[in-house]
Chains A and B, each alone.
Chain A
Amino acid sequence: MKRRSAVADDDDDDPLDFEEEDALLNATPRVASKRRKAIGLDDLLSEVYKEKNKLMGCNPARSNAPKGYNSDEDDKKTQENEITFCKFVDDCEKQVNEIGSEDEVPEWGQKVFGLQKSPTSLGRTGLENCQLLQSFTENSLAQILGVNAEQGETFLKGLLMNGWLSKLAFRSGLVEESIARWSFHTMLYSLNEELQVSACDFWCCILQSRDEANQPLVRLGWYPNYSALKDALLNYGYLFDTTSNCSSTSEASSADSECDGPPANILSWIRVLSACFQLRNGRTIFSTSEAEDFLIIVICLFLDRKLVGITSILSECLQSIIGSFSDSQWDESCVKVAESIAHRVPKDLNCLRIVECISGLDNRNKHLRSQLALQMLRISFDRKVTNAKEALEMLKLVNVKNKDCNFFKLYIYLVLVENLLLFDHPFEEKSLIIDLWSKYLRNCSTQITSTDLRSYASKVRNKASYLLQNMILKNCG
C-alpha cells in the first residue's frame, strides 16, 4: 500500500509510467497478455525491482528507483550493470534469509506415529453363542422384537452405544468372555466414533467400579492385557518402540501420508490404559516391566503434536501409571524409564517438552522429572555427568563470552538443570549446589549483554535472571 501511494504522489505528470507500475503490482492476467509480445529489458528490470520491493517490505524510497530506468534515453550498459547489481542484492538477501532460517530453532514435535497397519482380526468371537443373547432368544419377546442370534453383533452394538450393556453387566455382576473380547476389540479398532467411544466408556466404567470394600463390582471373563494394548498401538503406527531403533523414526519423519496414525481410537486407548492402571491391584494386569514400557510410551506420546489437544487425558494416564508402582519398585523403575527416554529423545526443545509434561505435584513426579533431566544432561555431556554437582561443573565450562557459544544448547541445559534441582538432594551437598548454581546464573545474566543478537542469547539471559531473581526472593522470604 505504501508503495502505491508513493507512486501516485510523484507520478502525476507521467500517467503512462503510473499505469505500468500499477499493472505490475496487480499483475492481472489481462495486462499480462497485452504485454506478452514486447517484453523488453525494462520489463525484466521492473520485475526484479518488484520482487525486491516485496522482500524489502515495500520501502517507499526504493519505489522511486525504477522510474529512471523506464525513461527513454536508455544507456544499455548502465542497465546491464544495474541488473547485475540487483541480482547481487537479491542473492545477498536470499543468503541473509537463509542464515536467519538456519538460526530458527524448530518447535518441539516428533513423528511418533507412522503408517497404520490393518488391525488384527478378532477371529471367532463366539458372540452368536453368548449367554446374554442365547437366553433371550427363547423369550416370547424376541419374536415380537425380531431379535435373533444371527444379527447378534448388530444388536450388541446397539446395547453398547445406548449404555445398556454396562447396566446389564452391573446387574448380573459378570461380563462373559466373548462379549469382553469383542467390546475391547471394538473399542481399539472400530472406525465408528460413537461406537468406539461407547465401548471405551463401558470398559472404563467397569474397570473403575468398586464396592465399599474396594472389590470390583463386576467379574470379567477376560481381562485386557499387555499384548492386546501394545499390538493396538503398533497397529496405529507407533514408531518409538523399544524393540526397534530410534533411527527409523527420524528417517520416516519426512513424508506425512494420509494413512499415518494415530486414529481417533488413540483417545480410547489412553483412557482405558489409565483405567487399567487404576485397578486396585493393577499388578494383576501388568508386570513391572510392562508398566515401565507403558510409562515410556505415554511419555513419548507427549511429543506428538497431533495429540497436543488431549494433553490433559495423557497427563491423567501418566499419573495413574506412576501411581501404580509400589514404593520399593519405584526408584529403580524411575531410573530405567528416564534412561530409556533420554536415549530416544533428541536433545532440542523436545527434551524440554518431555520434562515439562511430567506435571504431577507429588514426589514421584518430581523424582521422575529430575531423573529425566539428569539422564538427558548425562547424554549431552558424553556420560561424564552422574549428579547435579558434576552437571554444574560441566556447565561452568561453557563460556558465554566465547564467540562460538551455542546459546540454544545452553538454554536447554539451564532448563534441564533447573528441573534436575527440583528433587531433594543430600543436605550437605545442597548448599554447595545452590552456591554453584547461583554463581553460574549470575554469570549468564551479567556477561551476556542485552544487545547480543545471537540466537537464544537473550533467552538464556532472561531465563538466568528469572531463576536468579526467584532464588534471591526465596532466600529473603
Chain B
Amino acid sequence: MDDPRRRNGGFEENTMAILDSSGIGGSQDIHDDRISFLEAVRYASLVSESPSVPSWNMYDATFQILRDSRSLELAVASYQLLIELDKRYPRVYCTNSGGIGELVFVKEAWSPFILGQEKSHGTGEGGSKSTDRLIDSLRFSVLIEDMAQAVKSMDFQLGLKPVEDMLLFQYLVSVLEADFIHRHTLYKESLNWVLFRESMLNTLLGSRKLNFKSLVRDFMSLLLNQCQHHVRNSLPDTVGSCAISSHDSAFSLAIAFPELERRTCSAVQKLLTLVMEIDVIKKEADLLGVTSRIDGFRIPILEIILDELTYNLNHVSSFLAVFSEPKWKLEIVLQYFSKYCMKSSVRTRRSNDTANDLTLESVMNFFSTPTATKNIAKKVTSEVALLLLAHAFQVCVSQQVDMNFSGYASEKIGGTVSQISSKFISAFHNLREVDEDLEITPFEKEALFTAATILLQEPEN
C-alpha cells in the first residue's frame, strides 16, 4: 500500500487552490470560494465513489473556517462538514478479534485538539502555522469562559461570535465523546484504567493550564443562564437588539439561536456526565490500586457541583430544571441528601462508603414520619427537600422511557414506580405538617399530580 498522503497530494493541491485568494479582493468572492472549498472537500471525502480522507491541511482549513467564519452560512456548513467527516473517519475505533477487544488509534488522523507533549501536530505537514488554531487546555478554558461571559451579560448581543463559539464547543464535545465511548466499551471488558488516563478528556482537564474549578463554575452558569434565556427569548426582541445590519442575517440568527443554545446546553450536560463517569472509573481504579502519582489529583466534579448548589440555594431549582440527564440527576439529589442526612442516620453506620448505598426509596423513608421529616427539614429546609424529592421522582418516572439507564435505575431507586409515588405523596404530607407555610412551586404540584395519577392507573399492591 502506498502512502495515502502522496496519493492524495494532487487532490489536496487542487482543492486547496480553491481557497487561494490572491488576485481577488471582494469579501463576497472569498465567501464563495470558501463555500466551494467546503463543498469540494465534502465531495472528495464523502460523496465520491472512491472517497479519501482529507489531508491535514484540508482539515485545518475547514476548522479555521469554523473559527473565523464571518457568516452564519459558513459557520454552519463547516461545522456540519467536520461532524460528518468525524463520523466517516473516526480517530479511534474498537476491533474485536477472538473475543478480545482492542482499540485502534488512527495515527495519521487529524484532531482539533493539541494535547500534551506526545502529539506534536504539524511535524509532517502544516508547520507551526496551523497549530496556533488548534485547541489546547488553555484555549479550551478561554472558550468556555467567553461563552459563560456572553450569556451572563445582560445586554446580550446577538452576533456571530457566540454562534461560532457554540458550534465550536459542540464540535469539540462530539470529538471528546467519540474518544470516550470507545474507551468505555473496552473498559467494561478489561477494567484497564490506563485507557482513561490517556483519554482526550482526561488529558485536557488534567493540564495545569486549566483551572478545573472555575471551568465547572462556567459550565454551571452556562446551564443556569440558559434557563433564564428561555424566559426572555422571544423573536421580535432579539431581532430588535441585534447589532447586525442586514435584516435577513439578523433574522436567521434569531431563528437559529434558541436551537443552538439548546444544543449547546445538552453538549455541556454531555461533557459534565462524561467527567462524572471518568471520576467514578478513577475511584474504582483507586480502590484497585492501579492509579499512581502521574494521575494527579482533580476534585471530583460532583463535589464541586454540590458545593456550588449548597452555597447558592436559589440555583438548585434552575440547575435541576435544566440538567435532565436522569442517572446523574438522581445521583446529585442522592448525594445532596447523603451530605446532610447520613451521619445522623442509624442505618448507615455500617460502612464508610455509605453514599453508594443510598437509594431513592431510602431517601423517601427519611420522610416517612413527621418527626423524622422535621429532623431533615431542619438541615435541608423543607422547600429544598420537596424540590429535590420532586426532581428525583421525575427521574424515577422516566426510567421506562430511557432504556439505557434502566439497569442502573432499579438499583438506585430501590422500589417500583407506584411504591415511590405513594412514598413521595406521604413525604409531601409530612413536610406540610412540619411546615405549614410550605410554598409549593408549579413543578412540585405537577410532580404530585403525576404521582397521584400513576397511583390511580397502577395501584400499589
Residues in A lying within 8 Å of B, measured CB to CB: 107, 109, 132, 135-136, 139, 141, 144-145, 147, 155, 158-159, 162-164, 166-168, 170-172, 191, 193-194, 197, 205, 209, 256, 262-264, 266-267, 305-313, 315, 356, 359, 361, 366, 422, 459, 462-463, 466, 469-470, 473-474, 476-477
Contact = CB atoms under 8 A, between A and B. Distances in A.
A309 B446 contact: no
Interface stretch (B113-121, B187-195, B247-255, B405-413): B247-255
Contacts of A136: 449, 452-453, 456
A440 B249 CA distance: 38
Given A266-B255, A306-B248, A164 B447 contact: yes
Contacts of B448: 141, 145
B18 interface: yes
Given A141-B452, A147-B449, A422-B47, A309 B76 contact: yes
A166 B449 contact: no
A170 B456 contact: no
Given A267-B259, A366-B47, A473-B14, A158 B230 contact: no
Interface in B33-47: 36, 39-40, 42, 44, 46-47
A315 to B, nearest CB: 8
Q: Which of B72, B401, B447 is packed against the most chain A CB atoms within 10 Å?
A: B401
A267 B398 contact: no
Contacts of A361: 46-47
Contact of A159 (B398, B417, B449): B449
Contacts of B254: 264
B356 interface: no
A197 B257 CA distance: 13
Interface string B57-88: 00000000000000011001101100000000
A308 B230 CA distance: 22
Interface of B: 7, 10-11, 14-15, 17-18, 28, 32, 36, 39-40, 42, 44, 46-47, 50, 72-73, 76-77, 79-80, 163, 230-231, 233-235, 247-249, 251-260, 262, 321, 324, 394, 397-398, 400-401, 417, 425, 432, 440, 442-443, 445-450, 452-454, 456-458
A193 B258 contact: yes
Contacts of B257: 309
Contacts of B231: 194
Among B10, B321, B458, the one with the most A-chain Cβ atoms within 10 Å of its Cβ is B10
B258 A267 contact: yes
Nearest to B450: A164
Contacts of A356: 39
B394 to A, nearest CB: 7
A384 B14 CA distance: 34
A265 B448 CA distance: 31
Contacts of B14: 466, 469-470, 473
A457 B50 CA distance: 31
24 contacts: A136-B453, A141-B448, A145-B449, A162-B443, A164-B447, A168-B453, A171-B397, A171-B417, A197-B258, A256-B247, A262-B255, A263-B235, A307-B252, A309-B72, A309-B163, A309-B259, A310-B255, A311-B80, A312-B76, A359-B42, A422-B47, A459-B32, A473-B11, A477-B7
Contacts of A158: 442-443, 445-446
A385 B422 CA distance: 73
Contacts of B32: 459
A474 B233 CA distance: 51
Nearest to A206: B401
A466 B17 contact: yes
Given A466-B15, A473-B11, 19 more contacts: A109-B248, A136-B456, A141-B448, A141-B452, A155-B449, A159-B446, A159-B450, A164-B446, A164-B447, A167-B397, A168-B450, A305-B249, A306-B252, A307-B252, A308-B72, A309-B163, A309-B257, A310-B255, A313-B259
A420 to B, nearest CB: 14
Contact of B230 (A147, A155, A162, A194): A194
Contacts of A166: 401
B392 to A, nearest CB: 13
B440 A145 contact: yes
B425 to A, nearest CB: 7
B256 A167 contact: no
A135 B11 contact: no
Nearest to B15: A466
A163 B47 contact: no
A109 B251 CA distance: 14
A313 B251 CA distance: 17
Contact of A162 (B10, B260, B401, B446): B446
Nearest to B77: A311
A163 B255 contact: no
A311 B258 contact: no
Contacts of A422: 47
B251 to A, nearest CB: 4
Nearest to A267: B259
Contacts of A163: 324, 394, 398
Nearest to B227: A194
Contacts of A459: 32
Contacts of B7: 477
